[in-house]
Amino acid sequence: MKQHILSKTKQELDYSFEALKNFEINTSFLGFFSRFYRDYKHYVTSKETLLYAYSSVLSDITKDIEDFKINSEELKNITESMNFINNKIQICAKYLEKFGNSFSGKDQQKTEIFLYEKRFLQQIIVSFLQDTKKWFTYHKKEIEGEIDKIRVLQQNDNVFIGANEVLELQKTRLQTIIKNI
């Protein structure tokens, strides 16, 4: 079985912080050439946040799958966390791109670090997609079942006034979750 990308969190952060430390030493003499250092520093701090948040989300996903039954509050929390991870991935990609654009391709050390980090970010994206699909596949029928229950409730004449709007909102939210994943 292939090892999950998060099993290498410590090594990944050690690599990035070591490279950052080397850049810091080198840029202290270069003053105005330090844009690449600032961009890489932003990337490393975003990467650290991403890895810790992803670890937490993966734990929630795993726990949720093991619980067999989805809870609406957990569903909301997990989808918000997944959106947070998506945003962090985008932020990391933005800073990594800035870092890549901040030096000429002639600097071998920076090029190697850039390519390493780019490969890592690609692996994170693939891994997150697989984990998300696993979670969604596990709960898809359950979520669709909730949508069907809402449709039945909406057709019931005995539903209290205003409930149809609430049910419609809930149905739309669940359909949006399905569409976004």
What is the domain partition of the chain in residue ranges? 5-138
7-31 exposure pattern, b = at least 16 Cβ within 10 A, e = fewer = eebeebeebbeebbeebeeebeeee
| Per-residue pLDDT, 23 | 67
Question: What's the angle, vertex CA 11, arms to CA 130 and CA 119, rounded to 5?
Answer: 50
Amino acid of residue 107:
D
With contact defined as beta carbons under 8 Å apart, do 31 and 98 qualify? no
Between CA 73 and CA 82 the distance in angstroms is 14
| Per-residue pLDDT, 91 | 92
- Helices within 67-107 (DSSP H only): 72-101
| Per-residue pLDDT, 158 | 54
E-strand ranges in 57-162 read none
Which residues of the chain are modeled with pLDDT < 50?
A: 32, 160-162
